[in-house]
Structure 1
Amino acid sequence: MTVNTTDWPYVYGKPSGQGLIKQHPKDFIVEEIASFEPSGTGEHQFIWLEKEGQNTEFVAKQLARFANVKPRDIGYAGLKDRHALTRQWFSVWLPGALNQPDWTQCNIPGVRFVQITRHARKLKTGVLSGNRFQLTIRDWQGDKAETEVRLLAIKQHGMANYFGEQRFGHEGQNISKALLMFNGAKTSKTDRSLYLSAVRAFLFNQVLARRVLEQNWNQPLPGDCLGFADSHSWFRIEQPDATIQQRVANHEVHPTGLLFGKSSHVYSGVAPELEADVLAHYPELTQGLIDCGLEADRRVLRVSLADLTWQIEPNVLHLCFSLPPGSYATALLRELIATPRA
């Protein structure tokens, strides 16, 4: 089975601009937007740190080693890119007052400790309000006026919430490995989760791609499930009345796409029929997810970028914006420059 994990249709047309990203770590700055403030007391030390040239899992292992705790005692809200300058929270389970590590003596290359406090609970994956990005595209070439028109359109209408191609591995190899796993190949627990996530992401992107082509990715359809950008909650509509149309236009709610899995619900209407038609082309993938016991979920098709700002200099494009958890900066970049590298 051959799948293409890069050729998704564009919302605003194929970009005419070109440029290079991640030429230096400071060209790609990511800062977590926490969903809560650490209380200052509790059994878990919370560490706000800045890292450059290191990935999240490596830093977590180094923190565990220095604090002499088990890796499972370390928490973080999300994985951050190695080839970037990132700021994020980690938690370390350290109950009691004895044998507290002196973090000033913890030397991890490329890591700077910014703040240390405490909280009652471990930091869990996904407990974020979002991420704030500052991107620099170097060797940028393009029409300034056309680019600004496109940026204004994205700021007003949002972007398609595609999963980034890095989710699928090099040349989509995570999908190929998932198929081998579905056919009985032995897989580690970590790889199993990675492959299942990649398959669901691919199927979601296929549904979103169809709606982009039909120009209804940001419009409610009969039978749609509408979701909130700041939560995982959603509700189903029979018909998009005037009130629903206005709420979608105001970016209060967004159409959603299926994250495929087992479900006891059978819906009717234009939107679920569209999803079923798309998914019918991938029986090996859908059956594999069902056999693995995944439960169905939903993901919004559109991401709002109301805080998007930019600056265009000779050969350089600067972008600042925020995204909710799980959304990809590369989904924005692909609408602006040709084939950005993740």
Structure 2
Amino acid sequence: MADSTRVNLPFLSTNLPGIGGVLRTTDDDFIVDEEPAYPASGAGDHVFVRIEKRGLNTAQAVQAIAKALRIRERDIGIAGMKDRHAVTRQWISLPPPSTPEAALALSLDDIRILEATRHGHKLRTGHVRANRFILRVRSVSEHARERAAAILECLARPPGAPNWYGEQRFGKYGDNAEKGRALLRGEQRSDRRMDRFFISALQSELFNAWLVARMTDGLYARVLDGDVLHKVGGGMFTCEDAAVDEPRLLAGELVVTGPMFGTKMRAPTGAAAEREQAILAAAGLTREDFAKVAQIAEGTRRDASIAVRESAIQTLDDNSLEISFALPAGAYATAVMREVMKSE
């Protein structure tokens, strides 16, 4: 089941040839710069620290910093998790009585401290405005620059690029979602953090399945009566008249949302609800099954599409391109590059 989630995702730009090539031959080929939702205030008991790490995931970086400063890992705040095989710049927060001076004095392998500023509270998960990516693709095909430009232009048109969950969501062996199923069956328990991670992988697998069905049925750029829609920069509402809301989707004013199943997830109505129920049924699940894990996975909605902004392409040599763009928090650059490269 997990392997089928990691492949067989349709392309939005099916009629456009990809550039091929290889992404992330070294960590320096994958650069991520996190843009915070708000700046540090300069005053307060907590310390916001901007770090640059390479060859480490966020959890490993936090562990090293906690050990060096003799503080608890759980007291360090992070806005988002970042990949190991990359050079990533992101913000974390340190608890009192940490000081900016102590943070700036740290000397750690594969971690640089770039800034440290006081703030009034701990950094919360999801407090990210965007992530900016600089990605280098090696061994690309002929006419790669023109091909990449055409695909990025396609993805920039509303409703935008499919908001797939990337392979890393499902674990090294692709079995995280199956471990989430085991939790629903009451067959497996680990610690609370890992349980939440496995349930999230299952929710992500089901979201991807919903989005596959939406695209396969020609409904990616359509609105159905009963869809839960998300105003860009605003709140959610249930569609009562698709003829009114579909032009707004195509104008980039709103997006369709898909299910991250859970007991508190806002449910669609009508035909949209039937489609989500069909996804659960195909997986042998019901929404009530998620009541068993309600304390760690309440459920929510996820945008079906994302805006790919500020894209640029630079030729490095005859066989390599550098592609940069910005994505909203929670979106996967690998999902965008999958469309651009079409290497599967």
TM-score, reference length from structure 1 = 0.90
Match of 2:340?
Answer: 336
1:228·1:300 contact (CA, 8 Å) conserved in 2?
Answer: no
- Describe the superposition over 1:238-278 as per-residue Cα deviations: whole angstroms up to 9, x where unpaired: 11234x23321221210111111115976532322222222
Please list, as runs of the form range in 1=range in 2, the aligned pairs for 1:1-342 lying within 5 A after superposition: 4-6=4-6, 7-13=8-14, 16-95=18-97, 102-144=102-144, 145-157=146-158, 158-183=160-185, 184-230=187-233, 233-242=235-244, 244-263=245-264, 267-284=268-285, 286=287, 288-293=289-294, 294-312=297-315, 313-339=317-343
Over residues 292-327 of structure 1, what are the superposed CA-to-partner deviations in whole Å (9 max), with x where a residue is unaligned?
A: 224331111011113222234521122111111111
Distance 1:142 1:13, change over 3 A: farther
Secondary structure at 1:251 match in 2: coil
Mark the CA change 1:36 to 1:104 in structure 2 (over 3 Å): closer, same or farther.
Answer: closer
CA distance in 2, matches of 1:270, 1:321: 35
Corresponding pairs, count:
336
* 1:178 to partner: Cα distance: 2.1
**Unmatched 5+ residue regions in structure 2?**
none
| Contact residue 19 and residue 341 of structure 2 kept, 8 A | yes
Q: Hey, what's the Cα distance between the residues in 1 that align with 2:343 and 2:193? A: 29
1:287: how far off? 5.2
Q: 1: CA distance between counterparts of 2:236 and 2:208?
A: 19
> Which residue identity does 2:340 align to in structure 1?
L
Deviation at 1:81, TM superposition (A): 1.2
**Equivalents in 2 of 1:148, 1:308: separation in Å?**
9
Per-residue CA deviation, residues 27-74 of structure 1 (Å, 9 max, x unaligned), is: 111011111111101001111121122221122122222222222221
Q: Distance in 2 between matches of 1:16 and 1:309?
A: 16
Q: Does the C-alpha gap of structure 1 residues 180 and 275 become closer, same or farther in structure 2, counting only changes over 3 Å?
A: closer
2:242 match: secondary structure: coil
1: CA distance between counterparts of 2:98 and 2:91?
A: 21
Q: Runs of 5+ in structure 1 lacking a partner?
A: none
Q: Check the 8 A contact 1:19/1:137 in 2, yes or no.
A: yes
How far, CA to CA, are the matches of 1:309 and 1:218 in structure 2?
Answer: 25
Q: Kindly provide the amino acid, as one letter, of the partner of residue 310 in structure 2.
A: D
Checking the alignment, whether the CA contact within 8 Å between 2:227 and 2:257 is kept in structure 1 is yes
Q: Which has the higher mean CA deviation after the structures are superposed, 222-231 or 28-37? A: 222-231
Letter of the 1:40 counterpart: G
Distance, in Å, in 1 between the alignment partners of 2:286 and 2:197 is 14
Residues 174-183 or 17-26, more deviating = 174-183
Q: Does structure 2 conserve the Cα–Cα contact (< 8 Å) formed by 1:25 and 1:84?
A: yes
Aligned-residue offset at 1:286: 4.9
CA RMSD, Structure 1 to Structure 2 (Å): 2.4
Q: Percent identity?
A: 31
Q: Is the 8 A contact 1:156 1:306 kept in 2?
A: no
Change (3 A) 1:10 1:265: closer
Alpha carbons 1:48, 1:87 under 8 Å: kept: yes
> Do the aligned partners of 1:196 and 1:289 also contact (CA within 8 Å) in 2?
no
Give deviations 1:177-236, integer Å, cap 9, x for gaps.
2233333223222221111000100111111111111222132211111114556x3111
Change (3 A) 1:306 1:45: closer
What amino acid is the match of 1:17? I
Decide which moves more: 106-115 or 261-270: 261-270
Shift in Å, 1:123? 0.6
